[in-house]
Structure formats: C-alpha cells, structure tokens
Structure 1
Amino acid sequence: MSDTQSSCTVLFQGDSITDGNRGRSEDPNHIHGHGYVYLIASRIGAAYAEHGLTFINRGVSGDRAVDLYARWETEALAYRPRMISILVGINDVLRGIGEGNANFDRYERSLRRLLEEARENDPSVTLVVCEPFALRTGMTAERWEQDWEPRLIEKQQTARAVAEEYGAIFVPLQSVFNDACKRADASYWMWDGVHPTTAGHTLLAEQWLTAVGFEQWLRERL
C-alpha cells in the first residue's frame, strides 16, 4: 500500500447492514459487500481514482456494539484509517427486547469506548456515527409500539449524544427512511423492517455522503 493510500483509508464498521454479505477473501469484486459501503466506495473511488483511496468494510452480521469493541484493535485501529464510520445498534435493540435496560447500558458504554480508543489511537481521525434505524414492517411490525420503537429511540438518542461528546459526525437516518415512506411502502425500503433493500441502501449511501460532506473532507486531505 502506498503512502497516499495509507493516509486516505476509510473504514466502515457495523453489523449486517454494513457487512452486506461481503467477501472474506481478497477478491476485489466482493470485499465491499452489496450495500451502502459498495455504493460509496464505487462512487468516490471512480471520481478520485488518481488518489488511490482505500475503502475497507469490516462489518459483521449480528454484531452489537459490544461485539465491535471486542474486535476493535485488530479490525479497526490496526488499519490506521483517516476516517472510521460506525453503524451499529439494531442488534442491541433486538436482543434487548424483554431484558429491561441492560443492553441499553451496554450499548452506550461500548459505543463510548469505541470512539474513545479511536481518538487515543489517532487524535486526528475523523469519526462518523450513523443513527440506527428501522421501519414498521416485516419482523418489527408485531411489537413495534411496545418494544421496537421505544428501544430504537433510546439507541438513537444515545448514538447522537455520544457522537456529540466525542466530536464525531452524526448521520441521521431515521428521518430519511420515514420521509421515503411517503413515496413507497416501508417494505420497499426495508424488506424486513431492519435490512435495507437496494433502494434503501441507496438512500443510506446518499445521506452518508451528504451528512459527512465526504468530498469536501477528501479535498481538504489530498
């Protein structure tokens, strides 16, 4: 890897939404998965090809915030990225249903540790925290008001507060999907209420690029 690539590495971490069924080999056709990470990497990679940017996807399906923390050193900090983007929380919601506030506390504590250690590792790193999201359809529909919505709102509020505490860029996503439901049914954007469809991933990628101001961020570092 060249010095230019090393200084312009962007790392994406999270759960299955980030994972996107990514390949686990060095096959460049599959390493970014088939979701929003792929869409971002393809668009920016083509536009700024001469700068040798590196996009790394290390999302793992099923992960909660505590699971990200368990592999943070080897699958995040070790790459010495200039930007780290985190999208996690929906599995904390899922596994927290019926368990009181125990998982909420673990989510907040783990997310804070992720950002704290990233800052300690590199004070200049740009941190991005994406808002966890869901829609009332598929697996979430039956207990949306009783369980899913209130717990999701807790995670969203926590994600925003921790992002502000550590000077991270916060990417609001719930409102984007809520607004999109005025154009088409929720299942059009998230087939099971949690995992975005192709159209949903496109919304996610566009909102990420806008909220992060990625092209401006990149120009300032080239």
Structure 2
Amino acid sequence: MKRLVFIGDSITDCDRLWDERPEGLGFGFVRMIYDWFQESGQVKEPVRIFNRGNNGFTAFQVKAHLEEDCLKLKPDVVTLLVGINDLYMHIGGAGGYGAEGYGRCLETILQVIKEKNGAAVILMEPFVFPKPLEYAAWEKPLGAFRNELRRLAKTYETGFLPLSDYFQALGRRYSLDELTVDGIHLTEKGHELLAAAWISSYMEGKEYV
C-alpha cells in the first residue's frame, strides 16, 4: 500500500480536525483526492492518505513538525503546499521569512526527507488572488517565493505543480468568487480544481522529474 502524506498550511488542513469521518482528511482537495482514489477504479495499487496540514503554518513550522507530521508516517509520496503565511508575516513585519529564508527552510525539509525517508516529493506553488484588490500587490514578492520553489524542485528533482499559473489561467474561465472565498483560501470549486491538477500530475507520472 502506497502512503501519501500532505503537509502545509490551512489550504491543506481545511478543517481536518473537525472532520468526524475516520480518515480525518478535512473538507478540501485532500479529501477530494481520497474520494477519487476510492471511486475511480483507475489505480491498481491501494493507497492510504494522511492530511497533516496545519492552519497558519509557515515553512519554518512545517520544518519543525516534520518528524511528527510526516516522517513517522513512513510516506512514499509527500505533497507540500506552504508559503502564503510566510509572505503575510514578512510583509506585515511580524517576523517570518522573506523568500531567501523560505527557500532555506524548504531545502532543509527536502534534505531531511531524502536522507531519512527517501519519499518522492511534490512541491506546489503558493498562490494569491487579487481579491481584495490589495492582494494584487502581493504578486511580485510572492514571485520571489515561487522562484525559490522552482529552483529547489529542479535541484532536488521533485514533482512540481505551478499553481499560480494554473489558477491565473482558470481565472479566464471562472470568476474570482467561484475560485476563492477571501483571496487566499479556496472555494469548493477551487479545491476541486486543485485536486484535479494533482490527480492529473500523479496519474501521468509528471511528479517524478
């Protein structure tokens, strides 16, 4: 059985601690991926899925909790989405890391997974929508975070989902209100589209560069 672990911030978490179903996967894209595996019949090897996203987490906090939230679960594939809280704290002067510090934390995470576990890793870009409009000003500094992520994905030969580009493209088909509730968190449709992107990448083998 292949073990898939999802780690990151609130977008991954999606109220998992309030999900009373046995898997405790929350109400977002991780739950939708699980449902797809259960219902599609397209995957011969069974999987077990773990949601270890944590509301409010930065890359530093993901790193600090890596053993508990990820490594002890002995994953075969680790999916990581984190960064928007790092940017929020950095812009707001509440500590946090800029793009360089963010990159250092991610690199440590990748090194530890490689050395202690050897799981495949899928990195997903942090993203933001221009709703409210002031979030449009976040796009440039967030680009520096994404550059770090892309560099590390190439260096460590991880899988990579360019979610910023993906949601920008979807913005030509869907209104912002259909995709996001507040400019950062996703609507149910947004989670469906994120789950679809992950499944497509996973099934086509694109996560293994």
1:24 and 1:185 mapped to 2: Cα distance?
29
Cα pair 1:96 1:104 within 8 Å, conserved: no
CA 87–102 in structure 1, closer or farther in 2 if over 3 Å, else same: closer
Q: Which residue of 2 aligns with 1:214?
A: 203
1:143 and 1:129 mapped to 2: Cα distance?
23
Matched, 1:194 2:184: yes
Cα pair 1:187 1:193 within 8 Å, conserved: no
Tell me by how many angstroms 1:103 deviates. Answer: 2.7
2:178 and 2:42 mapped to 1: Cα distance?
32
2:90 to 86, 90, 96: 96
TM-score, normalising length from structure 1? 0.84
Structure 1: runs of 5 or more not aligned: 218-222
Matched, 1:151 2:141: yes
Q: Which residue of 1 aligns with 2:75?
A: 81
Tell me by how many angstroms 1:169 deviates. Answer: 0.4
When Rg is computed on C-alpha atoms for both structures, the one with the higher figure is 1
Tell me by how many angstroms 1:214 deviates. Answer: 3.1
CA 43–105 in structure 1, closer or farther in 2 if over 3 Å, else same: same
TM-score, normalising length from structure 2? 0.89
CA 15–182 in structure 1, closer or farther in 2 if over 3 Å, else same: same
How does 1:156-167 map onto structure 2 within 5 Å?
A: 156-167=146-157
Q: Which residue of 1 aligns with 2:134?
A: 142
Q: Which residue of 2 aligns with 1:118?
A: 113
Structure 2: runs of 5 or more not aligned: none
Cα pair 1:13 1:59 within 8 Å, conserved: yes
Amino acid at match of 1:44: F
Amino acid at match of 1:103: G
1:41 to 9, 27, 34: 34
Cα pair 2:128 2:135 within 8 Å, conserved: no
Cα pair 1:189 1:200 within 8 Å, conserved: yes
2:179 and 2:19 mapped to 1: Cα distance?
29
